[in-house]
């Protein structure tokens, strides 16, 4: 009975991964969950034990065969390969970039103002003579930080609310659903700009916290729907029978069975957080003490880089964001295909 | 069906109450003193400033207890009295907003609607068609990861600055006097095009990607296989798949409104387009509290109305809800 059809297995692992609509991640498709999901998991008595194994990464299961299968499809997904390598490139850039930086990102110089790229200043200098390359390196680092923190906050909030609402059901579910729907209706950017205008320069942490506070609703909705279907499966009933507490059941039985889904959700929230942070920074309400890609675009725009044709000042930061976020979306779509056979290109 | 709308409307009412409370509360909780900011503009003598401070403190109703201020705020909203803008002093906030809202709508509505339709068509075409799928979709991922302000900067720089094909800032040429003649209308269209294009380009990719995946799901479903087995032409099967796939896309539209709004604000700032985004920005940079509150309120109302419209369209598009509305069994 451990021999499950690998196709069905992969389907079980990832079916109903989110539609990879970047801006508008959608909860649809989650409600009528594929019967295959629970069917296969439930049909495998080992699943109760399996779920406890911490190594059940990506819900591919502990067996070597399934891991092979994951790699098999992962290496054949062009989206995953391209997206993943772009991401890796920029992670390396953020980690090792500072070794190649010879200027402080804030060091101004009157003699080297608005100079085009040269051997000394690889990406030229700003209107104030700051080194664009140095700013880009540190800006990329803060973009990753904001993305990780903001996406992390959002996914944690979404998980807590989604799991509790889906598992508890009833009045708790009704109340949490209401909160979720209300937060969805309130445009986050407007609140963030208003709060930001009073804070007058927030730290990266505050910015990430604000982003996380508003980005969770669709994730919570999707996780709730998944939890709802998973909780009626036999293995959850079994765990309940054996006297496990709700928290334990959610953490050990339900969450591992949708870990691939959770990962995809986090990737999308990560990308979304980077974009949102860039909006806040561009408006000029971002962190003042650190350089970010958004503040680079802000200062280049407001110091007339456009009119002065200082293109090396505003092109790199936006291009880096587009590559990172585009890479994240591509990775997400690639993983989606790996987990979910239905989406694989035929 | 009545239940469906009742639930939705309850959510919108609560969202509105929460939003108004936030709108009222943020300036009161946050550090900074709006009246002080306001008075600092006039550069008064200390004694006069102190006197005026007392006057404005009373005039703005800050001397009342908080609960009364809150109720007064609601009362003012229902009278559509949002105070007087400090930046555009002494123009009332409602006047400022009504002068700018048309620009935002003229930009936002066509961009969202056109991007939605074109993107959906594009995605439906790309699904299961290798050539399109390998060309349109990968670029869509990068484009939809592009920050709006950067797309706007690039278009303004290349098309407006370097090639000088279209103007890159404002809503009409400074040499024109607003009036209804052809040169002025042409100037409006001319200035409208780049910000529109910028918003449209970023949004279209997201819809294409979403639709492509949904169509693939639908083509794998039982009814599609059944139709194929019956020998229906692929075009017919696709048409059914499309009609099913549109529903989740429509609920996606409601979810995406917030992001589009953010894009709208930064795009307006880049092109110096005199819409609500620019007004909001002006209010923020000049700490014009009343204008900020008013713009926030208007934005919230706009988003809630848009949500409601999408709900109605959803009912019209989805035959199941339509049937159950007329008393049949879905």
ipTM: 0.90
Segment B181-219, tens digit of pLDDT: 888 888 888 899 999 999 999 999 889 988 988 898 888
Residue of A nearest to B162 (CA): A309
* A170-185 helix and A132-168 helix, angle to the nearest 10 degrees: 150
**CA B97 to CA B295: how far, in whole Å?**
7
Burial degree of B329 (CB within 10 A; 0-12, 13-18, 19+): exposed
How far from B249 is each of A26, A332, B98, B208, B317, CA to CA, in Å? 8, 19, 32, 10, 12
| Chain B partners within 8 Å of A84 (Cβ) | none
pLDDT on residue B317: 86
**CA A166 to CA A181: how far, in whole Å?**
15
Distance from CA of A280 to the nearest CA of B (A): 9
**CA B253 to CA B310: how far, in whole Å?**
8
3-state secondary structure B66-92: HHHHHHHHHHHHHCCCCCECCCCCCCE
How far from A301 is each of A192, A305, B100, B270, CA to CA, in Å? 21, 6, 23, 8
Residue from the list A22, A182, A297 with its beta carbon closest to the beta carbon of B209: A22
- Say whether A189 and B258 touch across the interface (CB within 8 A): yes
Distance from CA of B3 to the nearest CA of A (A): 15
**CA B50 to CA B245: how far, in whole Å?**
64
pLDDT band at B327 (very low <50, low <70, confident <90, very high): low
Segment A226-271, tens digit of pLDDT: 898 888 888 988 998 998 888 889 988 888 888 888 999 999 999 9
B215 close to B206: Cβ distance less than 8 angstroms? no
Which residues have C-beta within 8 Å of that of residue B101, sequence separation ≥ 6? Answer: B275, B276, B298
DSSP-derived 3-state class of residue A98: helix
Residue from the list A271, A276, A311 with its beta carbon closest to the beta carbon of B157: A311
pLDDT on residue B190: 87
Segment B64-103, tens digit of pLDDT: 888 888 998 899 899 988 888 888 878 899 999 999 999 9
φ/ψ (deg, to 5) at A131: -80, 120
**CA B291 to CA B312: how far, in whole Å?**
32
- Say whether B146 and A83 touch across the interface (CB within 8 A): no
Q: 10 Å Cβ neighbour count for B16? A: 18
Q: How many residues in chain B?
A: 330
pLDDT on residue A24: 39
Q: 10 Å Cβ neighbour count for B159? A: 18
């Amino acid at each position: 009975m451990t021999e499950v059809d690998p196709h069905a297995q992969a389907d079980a692992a990832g079916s109903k991964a989110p539609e990879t609509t970047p801006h508008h991640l959608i909860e649809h498709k989650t409600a009528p969950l594929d019967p295959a999901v629970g069917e296969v998991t439930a049909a495998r008595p080992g699943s109760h034990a399996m779920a406890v194994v911490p190594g059940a990464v990506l819900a591919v299961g502990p067996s070597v065969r399934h891991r092979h299968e994951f790699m098999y499809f992962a290496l054949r997904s062009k989206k995953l390969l391209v997206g993943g390598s772009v991401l890796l490139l920029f992670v390396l850039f953020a980690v090792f970039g500072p070794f190649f930086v010879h200027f402080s990102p804030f060091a101004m110089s009157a003699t080297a103002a608005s100079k085009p790229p040269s051997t000394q200043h690889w990406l030229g200098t700003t209107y104030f003579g700051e080194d664009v390359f140095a700013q880009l390196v540190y800006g990329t680092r803060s973009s990753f930080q904001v993305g990780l923190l903001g996406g992390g906050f959002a996914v944690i909030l979404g998980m807590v609310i989604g799991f509790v609402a889906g598992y508890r059901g009833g009045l708790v579910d009704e109340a949490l659903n209401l909160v979720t729907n209300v937060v969805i209706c309130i445009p986050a950017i407007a609140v963030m700009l208003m709060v930001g205008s009073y804070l007058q320069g927030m730290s990266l942490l505050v910015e990430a916290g604000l982003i996380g506070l508003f980005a969770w609703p669709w994730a919570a909705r999707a996780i709730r729907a998944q939890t709802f279907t998973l909780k009626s499966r036999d293995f959850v009933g079994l765990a309940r029978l054996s006297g496990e507490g709700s928290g334990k059941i959610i953490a050990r039985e339900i969450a591992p069975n949708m870990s691939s889904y959770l990962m995809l959700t986090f990737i999308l929230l990560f990308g979304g957080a980077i974009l949102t942070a860039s909006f806040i920074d561009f408006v000029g309400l971002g962190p003042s003490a650190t350089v970010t890609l958004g503040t680079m675009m802000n200062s280049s725009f407001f110091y007339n880089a456009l009119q002065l044709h200082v293109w090396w000042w505003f092109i790199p930061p936006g291009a880096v964001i587009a590559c990172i976020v585009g890479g994240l979306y591509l990775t997400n779509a690639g993983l989606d295909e790996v987990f979910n056979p239905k989406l694989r290109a035929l | 069906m009545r239940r469906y709308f009742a639930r939705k409307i309850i959510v919108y009412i609560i969202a509105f109450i929460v939003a108004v409370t936030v709108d009222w509360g943020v300036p009161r909780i946050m550090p900074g003193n709006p009246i002080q900011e306001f008075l600092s503009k006039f550069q008064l003598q200390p004694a006069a400033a102190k006197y005026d401070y007392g006057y404005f403190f009373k005039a703005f109703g800050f001397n009342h207890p908080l609960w009364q201020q809150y109720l007064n705020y609601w009362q003012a909203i229902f009278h559509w009295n949002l105070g007087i803008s400090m930046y555009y002093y002494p123009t009332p906030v409602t006047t400022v907003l009504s002068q700018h809202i048309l620009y935002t709508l003229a930009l936002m509505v066509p961009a969202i609607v056109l991007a939605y339709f074109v993107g959906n068509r594009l995605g439906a075409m790309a699904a299961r068609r290798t050539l399109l799928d390998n060309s349109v979709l990968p670029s869509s991922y990068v484009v939809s990861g592009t920050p709006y302000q950067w797309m706007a900067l690039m278009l303004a720089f290349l098309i407006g600055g370097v090639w000088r094909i279209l103007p890159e800032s404002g809503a009409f040429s400074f040499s024109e006097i607003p009036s209804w003649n052809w040169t002025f209308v042409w100037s409006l269209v001319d200035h409208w095009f780049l910000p529109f294009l910028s918003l449209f380009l970023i949004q279209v990719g997201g819809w294409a990607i979403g639709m492509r995946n949904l169509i693939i799901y639908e083509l794998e479903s039982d009814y599609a296989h059944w139709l194929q087995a019956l020998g229906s032409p692929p075009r017919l099967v696709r048409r059914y798949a499309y009609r099913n796939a549109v529903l989740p896309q429509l609920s996606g539209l409601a979810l995406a409104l917030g992001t589009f709004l953010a894009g709208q604000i930064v795009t307006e700032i880049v092109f110096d387009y005199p819409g609500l985004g620019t007004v909001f920005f002006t209010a923020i940079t000049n700490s014009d509290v009343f204008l900020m509150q008013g713009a926030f309120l208007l934005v919230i109302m706009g988003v809630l109305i848009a949500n409601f419209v999408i709900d109605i369209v959803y009912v019209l598009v989805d035959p199941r809800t339509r049937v159950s509305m007329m008393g049949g069994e879905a």
